[in-house]
Structure 1
Amino acid sequence: MIIFPILIVLSLVLYVYYKVAILKTKDGLTQAYFNAKSRICLGSFILLFGINQYIFYGTRISLFIGIIFIFLGGIQVVRGFKETKHYRSEYRRLNPAD
């Protein structure tokens, strides 16, 4: 299964991209939005890593660790989507011309 390592690396690269983008911007709302996007990428990294670990090893201990990673990654992804939606609507409310 080559798809999981590719998605893991892609999510890790996007996480680093959004964290660097936070440092480049001065606006607090944009920083919070980029932080929410990076949270989604981090959550997908953890989630995909947990799935890949169970598929690759297939043991009982990797199942338990994978379930923990999937749970924690899922929480991060859901929270990131909620924050992204909130900050996107706040940006539209404060900047109606854009």
Structure 2
Amino acid sequence: MVIFPIIIVLSLVLYVYYKVTLIRSKDRLEQSYLNAKSRIFLGSFIFFFGINQYVFYQTKLALFITIIFIFLGGLQLYTGWKEARHYRRQWKRNNSRE
């Protein structure tokens, strides 16, 4: 299963990219939006890392750890998705006024 390591590396790279972009930004709304985007990629990293570990080891301990990682990664994904949607609407609303 070569797809999981590719997704893991890609999500980690995008997480770091959005965190670096977040540091460079001066606008508070843009920072919140970029933080939400980075949270999405952190969640996908954790989610797919857990699945990859279970596929690799296939033990009961790996299963329990995978369940925890899937839960935490899914929670990060969901929260980041909701925040990104909210801040994107706010950003569009602010840009339409100017």
Instruction: State the TM-score, normalizing by the size of structure 1.
Output: 0.97
The alpha carbon displacement at 1:23 in A equals 1.0
RMSD: 1.1
- The match for 1:28 is 28
Does 2:63 match 1:91? no
**Equivalent AA in structure 2 for residue 37 of structure 1:** K
Aligned partner of 1:65 in structure 2 is 65
- Displacement of 1:97 in angstroms is 6.0
Partner of 1:95, secondary structure, is helix
- Secondary structure of the equivalent of 1:96? helix
Stretches of structure 1 that go unaligned for 5 or more consecutive residues are: none
Aligned to 1:82: 82
Work out the CA distance in 1 between the residues paired with 2:64 and 2:58. 11
Q: Which amino acid aligns with 2:63?
A: L
Runs (4+) off by over 4 Å: none
Distance 1:86 1:76 in 2: 15
**Percent of aligned positions that are identical:** 64
Runs of 5+ unmatched residues, structure 2: none
Partners of 1:97 and 1:5 lie apart in 2 by 43
Q: Tell me the TM-score normalised to structure 2 length.
A: 0.97
